[in-house]
Amino acid sequence: MTNFVDKVTVTVKAGDGGQGAIAFHREKYVAAGGPDGGDGGRGGDVIVKADPSMSTLLDFRYKRKFVATDGMPGQGKRCSGKDGQDVILRVPKGTLIRDKESGAVIQDMSAADSFVLAKGGRGGWGNKHFATPTRQTPHFAKPGLPGEYREVVLELKMLADVGLVGFPNVGKSTLLSVVSRANPKIADYPFTTLFPNLGVVYVSDYESFILADIPGIIEGASEGAGLGHDFLRHIDRCRLLIHVVDVSGSEGRDPIEDFESINAELKEYDLDLASRPQLVAANKCDLLPPDSTALADFKTHVQAQGYPVFEISAAAHQGIKELIYAAGARLRDLPPVTVYEPDYVAPEVQLGTADDLTIRKEDGVWLIQGDWLDRLVSRVNFSDYESRMYLDRKLREGHVYDRMEAMGLQDGDTISIAELEFEYYS
């Protein structure tokens, strides 16, 4: 069973807000104590936190649904209900959160330590909020708003400066083990590396970079062949690629054809990735026969395309320092690791009509409730004038006021929606 998971779909649900309380003050020798119903508690959030100690999404292999707790109802004596408990999802640094339906990026967890993925619903107001000089005993309170629901894809894109690419068995894992303290599995058969490995490479006492060993890519990888296509996403962020080629032909392949095939696969997967700076490591030079022209032919072909070639033998530790120093020098001139900007746009709330709402008059106040209205109100910032005007416009478009006028609504009447109470004027 693999211990590496880099893409999962999860469902999250924030907690609903608690119901506001309807209560009245009762105390000996205190007459007409008045309303003292407390507010409902806020629903818990679903929060994603980046954990530098994690390197896989394995924790999500079997548990795919996460629900925060609801806020508690308000109580008498103006006591507010307890807020719901947040749910925290820990993910590796570099995890992308995408909307399942559209595939748009909601958040890149390489750019943030924590992110509220689903917000809990606001608690409902207790009847203490509705007391006025002319309405001293309100017998109504407000329900809490529902918490957000999302279906998202968590996609791990490793945060590595340099990525090792190449066919299986060309020596990528050996190179990683030589230049860092990583201990990848190494064996003399294809696809020894089943998941990416990371290592820290020190160029000097004050300079280092992260190197990723990506499972071997084969022809057709961009279309789903082999293992490499599952992990090409992990070199999306790499600023520099080290293209490792077996120039000895020990696997019976032609080095030039290997070089061109891998670059073709990178191009098929992502044109930007194919244009990423490359250093070419001509590996296993120690296995070349003395009279072989394979290395000279390979260097001529590759250098003609503008790529620098380094003759190395990872197993014999030959030419390694020159390659690492060149990588460090190249990185100094390259921009930092890619951070994906969020491009997710929340869909418009699907509005209903006045017929889908419950409208009633309690103690001189018009109360409006309904599912689509709850969804709309959850996006309204009541402290912002433009946001309040947006709500008013949607109510008019849904013919809510028309229905209320038919029920007896008049100018100057009080309307209560969630945490907003206002006087109506046509």
Cβ burial, residue 386 (10 Å; 0-12/13-18/19+): exposed
What is the pLDDT at residue 251? 79
Tokens of 176: 């990683």
What is the pLDDT at residue 376? 85
Q: Please give the CATH number for the structural domain made up of 1-157.
A: 2.70.210.12
Q: Which residue, chain included where needed, has tokens 């699907």? A: 350
Find, among 250, 263, 243, the residue nearest to 323 by Cα. Answer: 243
Tokens of 140: 């109504």
Are 383 and 89 spatial neighbours (Cβ–Cβ below 8 Å)? no
Extents of the domains making up the chain: 1-157, 162-332, 350-426
What is the Cα–Cα distance from 269 to 30, expressed in whole angstroms? 76
SS (H, E, C) 320-360: HHHHHHHHHHHHHCCCCCCCCCCCCCCCCCCCCCHHHCEEE
Topology of domain 162-332 in CATH is: Rossmann fold (3.40.50)
What is the pLDDT at residue 185? 53
Tokens of 110: 């390489």
DSSP state of 203: E
Integer CA distances (angstroms), 150 to 85, 119, 371, in order: 18, 10, 17
Mutual orientation of helices 172-179 and 320-332 as an angle, nearest 10°? 80
What is the pLDDT at residue 188? 53
What is the Cα–Cα distance from 31 to 170, expressed in whole angstroms? 89
Q: In the structure, how many helices (H) and strands (E) does the chain have?
A: 8, 18
Mutual orientation of helices 294-303 and 255-269 as an angle, nearest 10°? 30
Are 36 and 25 spatial neighbours (Cβ–Cβ below 8 Å)? yes
- Give the HSE-up count for residue 30: Cα atoms under 13 Å, Cβ half-sphere: 8
Q: Which residue, chain included where needed, has tokens 């079997």? A: 62
What is the Cα–Cα distance from 73 to 71, expressed in whole angstroms? 7
pLDDT block averages, 10 residues each, the chain of length 426: 74 95 81 83 96 87 94 92 96 93 93 92 88 80 90 90 88 89 54 67 89 69 49 82 92 90 86 89 92 93 96 93 95 89 84 85 87 83 85 88 92 85 86
Give the contacts of 215 (CB within 8 A, at least 6 positions apart): 168, 191, 193, 194, 195, 196, 227, 228, 230, 231
What is the pLDDT at residue 19? 92
373-376 long-range Cβ contacts below 8 angstroms, 24+ apart: 373/417, 374/145, 374/146, 374/418, 375/146, 375/349, 375/350, 376/349, 376/351
Our measurement of the distance from residue 36's CA atom to the centroid of its chain's CA atoms, rounded to an integer in Å, reads 42
What is the Cα–Cα distance from 357 to 48, expressed in whole angstroms? 34
What is the pLDDT at residue 112? 85
CB atoms within 10 A of CB 332: 8
DSSP state of 190: T
Q: Which CATH architecture has domain 350-426?
A: 2-Layer Sandwich (3.30)
